[in-house]
Amino acid sequence: RRINQYGAPAAEAAPTGKPVEHPQCAAARKNLDILGQQGPVQQDTDGDGKPDATLDDTARANQRALAEAAVKAYCKPGG
């Protein structure tokens, strides 16, 4: 809480511009985009930052379901 020189609370400025998107929302949307494209999709399964496994159809569908659940959880409706 801020107080101005007269002892009254200072008016807070309303944030302007586009609201910041949750990082998990952005990642989930990017994953959905990648999983929706044609061609092989690789995944980093050992955490070294390099893809080391190619997803088969079942794994791809599972990852798509996870990404869709993340969009529902982290993205604002209509956003």
**What is the DSSP secondary-structure string of 7-62?**
SSBPPPPPP-SSPPPPHHHHHHHHHHHHHHSSS--EE-SSSSSS--EE--HHHHHH
| CA 12/CA 2 separation, integer angstroms | 8
| pLDDT for 34 | 92
pLDDT at 14 exceeding the cut of 60: no
| pLDDT for 61 | 94
Mean pLDDT across 56-74: 93
pLDDT at 42 exceeding the cut of 70: yes
Cut 0.75: pTM above it: no
